[in-house]
A and B are shown apart, each in its own frame.
Chain A
Amino acid sequence: MELSDSVVKGLQTLADPAYLDLKSFTIFTEAAFSSLLSFPTGSVFDYPELKNMDQSLLKHCHIAATTFILEGVKQNADRSTICSSLEDLKFDSERVDAFYMLYQKNKTNLEKLLSSIDGCPPHITDVSWRLDYCIKNSHVHKVNQPSYLISFNTESGDNNGASSKLNFSCTLEQLQDLVGKMKDAAKSLERAAQL
């Protein structure tokens, strides 16, 4: 894996037993993984074992570790790639094992997170509907037609996952048309999945 000097330096600090013992290293690494997967509300390193560390150095190590993790997940790095990269940075075998265990445990969730980052169109997550019977309006009397209000819930990746709704109305025939076309798509998906 290609890593910048700053990341290499941060990781070398993490490898140094004089700076962090194995227990603190494990706690630190766990905190680094969970800081990627959840929005930390307080300090990332709110642990008694990490309280006495130089906080600015700890921050540097955090950036280095998270960069390394994200780069690994991004490239779908396997065990040998991760382990040999860490060994090159003078990590002892216990630290390599501890790191790899956490990497393996969190990889799937991190992949999901990374795959959700792109400028793709709003993603439909759900639909709600309402059935009305239109009786009359100011322009036409005796309409007497069923009418549907459809509301697609969408989430947009651009907007930090902000959800919004897309509302539209359709007649019974139009809804049948919409569902028919969606079924065509689903059928094609099914066929494609069997290839």
Chain B
Amino acid sequence: MLLVLSEEQKEHLGFLSDVDPAVVGEFGRIAVEFLKKGSNPKIYEGAARKLSVPAETVQHGVEGLMFILTESSKLMISEVDFQDSVLVLGFSEELNKLLLQLYLENRKEIRQILSELAPSLSRYQNLEWRLDVQLASRALRQQVKPTVTLKLHLESGDTQSARVLQTDPATLLHLIQELERALAEVKSNHCRRILRNIK
């Protein structure tokens, strides 16, 4: 599978063949940094002054690299396909190698970042628990009621939340039993067959 680059993107990236490979390396580092932490336009201006080109040119170059990195990580394209895809840009061999290196080194992390964008429910993060014996309440004195308090930490996008829940010992054992069935299911013949065949 090859990457498809628009004429505009090719034009933007063309700027990279005019500068020193070390500069492209730096742009690559910036592109990865922006993907991880969000973009920062001030950096474009600084780099543009040093290279004495318009800030826009630098921005287009870095954004072009970001596109190449995200798109190839998303599609999980192979080394060979990556090299063939950037061939159309007419870069030097040294530059192509540098881009390939950048892709391979950061692919895993970029896929991790992209996977967080997928629509999903709140995700499990952590569970804390506490055991109590309830002794009395306003409505009833002289109780001996064991309770398990659970604090479930969830995250959804950037927001983290925690829910406090309670249960009794019998239900706790039931929950464990049921969730162990869920874990066992992934090892069943049916699941293993599907997992093997969808690659």
Contact = CB atoms under 8 A, between A and B. Distances in A.
Interface residues of A, number: 59
A164 to B, nearest CB: 11
B199 A144 contact: yes
Interface in B3-40: none
A121 B163 CA distance: 9
B154 interface: yes
A139 B114 contact: yes
Interface stretch (B54-62, B91-99, B139-147): B139-147
Contacts, number: 172
A9 to B, nearest CB: 25
A139 B115 contact: yes
Contacts of A177: 124, 126-127
B166 interface: yes
Looking at chain A's contact residues, the main secondary structure is mixed
A140 B117 CA distance: 9
Task: For the complex of A and B, list the 10 residue pairs with the smallest distance between their C-beta atoms, beginning with the closest.
Answer: A170-B124, A114-B140, A137-B118, A124-B167, A76-B142, A117-B139, A129-B182, A185-B129, A114-B139, A139-B117
Of the candidates B75, B124, B163, B199, the one having the most CB atoms from chain A within 10 angstroms of its own CB is B124
Interface of B: 73-76, 111, 114-115, 117-129, 131, 134, 137-143, 145-150, 152, 154, 163-169, 171-176, 178-180, 182-183, 185-186, 191, 194-195, 198-199
Interface of A: 73-76, 111, 114-115, 117-118, 120-129, 131, 133-135, 137-144, 146, 148-150, 152, 154, 166-170, 172, 174-179, 181-186, 188-189, 192-193
Given A129-B182, A146-B195, A168 B123 contact: yes
Given A126-B178, A182-B172, 13 more contacts: A111-B140, A123-B166, A127-B175, A134-B118, A137-B119, A140-B114, A166-B152, A175-B183, A182-B176, A182-B179, A185-B129, A186-B172, A189-B172
Nearest to A75: B141
B76 A168 contact: no
B137 A131 contact: no
Nearest to B199: A144
B179 A166 contact: no
Nearest to B129: A185
Contacts of A186: 169, 172-173, 176
